[in-house]
Structure 1
């Protein structure tokens, strides 16, 4: 335990960095993923084409290259210096949004077509059909796969360690400079990630139980 108790300041900053990347990237991924998922099933051909292009391009690009693009290409392009944590959040959010979009799309496909047609028949627009009829049901059916996406996002936060963002993934290097055993540090980082994943799994079960009862 000495590797933790003797370095509480560094562990706290690293955990906070991981949580910033996770919640910031998760929020961006959820908002963007819902929009892209709706575009993927839109009756407008251009919207479907843009959504498909975005998903196929970003999802098939390694996450490390996405980080390189945001860290070294975006700031010079905009002509401004940007915080690496913010750039990491953007990279994680935009990358994870493709998986969120596909999960949402699979959930939309589980909703009977007749419900959407009935909603359109009474005069609801496409946006109203999606927000009032389709999306509420789609979200309930995709809780397990959606939580798997966010668990993957949590583990992907460690990629930011290679881009000067302090998080749990970069603790080994920082601790080695303080003379700590690197293997012990890695084991404790693993324990923290296991605890965080278990917390997300508990949240998944709680949401499934609550929404199943409410049906």
Structure 2
């Protein structure tokens, strides 16, 4: 038991590496603050393109959504960060992360939005148009709020998955939480820093998971 505690829950090592872990945690929070909004906005744009009346807009958008939903995000990230330099395009780790995860997240958010829009009764749209609202106003004030409400648990679930995806940033040495914890582990030859990182992820994600569960029960009821 002493060996187990010393390897996984060494308080002395945790205290020593706490500044490094905290710095990585702040970087992860920064990634979340950037990625979640651009993912939500990108998904809305993807949905609008994929539901366009013009087939010349709709078909490429649907193909792009299917492609990026099928393409592994880790491979996409490595390709953007390590592959594009061969074409003369060099990006910082943060820029590569934002582009890769925007393409991945927007494709998933876009499909969730589409399902939400399709769940809104057609009569609601017709009622909005009959009051004199234009197509854009009807979508913005009537369709979109109801659509988001109907798929809010799915949007939050996808957000949790997006936050988990930030761990992939460690592959390109972005100083986020997992990278910082692994660096601390290599310096201390101890697993305690990884336990600290796991605890911080749990603290960050557990409230979202509980909110999702409550929403699911509320909508089901």
TM tier, shorter chain? 0.7 to 0.9
- Aligned partner of 1:44 in structure 2 is 54
The Cα of 1:65 is off from its aligned counterpart by: 1.5
Larger Rg: 2
- Aligned partner of 1:72 in structure 2 is 82
Q: Confirm or deny that 1:87 pairs with 2:81.
A: no
CA distance in 1, matches of 2:99, 2:23: 20
CA distance in 2, matches of 1:41, 1:80: 32
The Cα of 1:157 is off from its aligned counterpart by: 0.7
- Aligned partner of 1:192 in structure 2 is 200
The Cα of 1:75 is off from its aligned counterpart by: 4.7
CA deviation vs aligned residue, 1:133-173 (integer Å, no higher than 9, x gap):
11011111111111110110111111110111011221343
Distance 1:43 1:191, change over 3 A: same
The Cα of 1:14 is off from its aligned counterpart by: 0.8
Distance 1:121 1:51, change over 3 A: farther
The Cα of 1:200 is off from its aligned counterpart by: 2.0
Number of aligned pairs?
A: 208
Q: Normalized against structure 2, the TM-score is what?
A: 0.83
Distance 1:33 1:67, change over 3 A: same
For CA contacts below 8 A with separation 6 or more, give which structure has more relative contact order.
Answer: 2
Q: Give the RMSD, CA atoms, in angstroms.
A: 2.5
Q: Normalized against structure 1, the TM-score is what?
A: 0.85
The Cα of 1:27 is off from its aligned counterpart by: 1.4
CA distance in 2, matches of 1:203, 1:27: 19
The Cα of 1:50 is off from its aligned counterpart by: 2.6
Which of 140, 143, 147 is equivalent to 1:131?
A: 140
The Cα of 1:121 is off from its aligned counterpart by: 4.6
The Cα of 1:47 is off from its aligned counterpart by: 2.8
The Cα of 1:20 is off from its aligned counterpart by: 1.9
